[in-house]
Amino acid sequence: MSHAMSGPRSAPAVPPSEPLPASGPAPAAGAGVSGYRGTALVTGASSGIGAAVVRRLAAEGGWRLVLSGRDEARLARVAGQASGTAFAADLTRPGAEARLTRFVLDRTGRVDLLVAGAGIGWAGAFGTMPAADLDEVIDVDVRATLRLVRQVVPHMIAAGSGRVVLIGSLAGVVAVRDEAVYSAAKAALAAFADALRYELAPTGVRVTHVVPGVVDTPFFDRRGTPYRRARPRPVPPERVADAVWRAVARDRDEVFVPGWLSLPARVRGAAPGLYRRLAARFG
């Protein structure tokens, strides 16, 4: 419902691997050289929210940026504009997450911020969803993200600091008609963010869940169905990128974009029966 990752599946398959050994301790982001913030790895960075996050971090300054996405040409353009380093990859391929992590560590020695922005959607009746599309949504939105986090987090733990930002969707919080699998995938990310946050609390590594509503990106064109609802109205991806930055700067656990979207989430939590009746009638 909120963002997209697209492009040719051109990255070569590599053998699967276990998480890389954790790197040695590194100074916290912001320490040392004046203005230095650390290394940021952004996935889904060739367009949409991911590209906007890259531009926002570049504007803040002090970040060594590594960008990943499936569209090599677009990724290179975004990286060039942000003075970042591009690593084109299809993270659903076996071992791709290990190759990406190794690429970042070989060049920068650390990962201080991971923004997992890669995602795809599919809209339509669940019974008509092709099996291949079902698998792709789960592979891109859930499996690839969890595998990458599994590679990166040990290095953050060894450093004693770091932040994982997971780009979710309102669909994963309240569920959306005709987006059953996408809603399920984003709900999985929301639960993962909470569980991982509890687990990592003693380590100095933080987890942020960013929950956009409808974002004005090519997401809806690529999923095959245009956005037709009157509300919520689409927001530009730059607004989500601003929210990502504020969450990082202010140590926020969860952020809705726009903020008023937390209201339906609270209604669903407090009065699920009422919410379901309203959603069935108006959603």
Give catalytic residue positions. Answer: 182
What residue type is 207 in one-letter code?
V
- Axis-axis angle for helices 96-108, 144-159 (nearest 10): 30
Helix, strand, or coil (residue 122)? coil
**Among residues 162, 159, 163, 185, which one has the least CA distance to residue 172?**
185
Determine how many CB atoms are found less than 10 A away from the CB of residue 78: 24
Q: Where are the beta strands (DSSP E) in 160-214?
A: 162-167, 205-212
Paired tokens of 4? 């997209």
Number of residues that make up the chain: 283
Q: What is the dihedral of CA 150, 171, 272, 230, to 10 degrees?
A: 160
| Interior/surface letters 159-196, b for 16+ CB within 10 angstroms, e for the rest | bebbbbbbbbbbbbbbbbeebbbbbbbbbbbbebbeeb
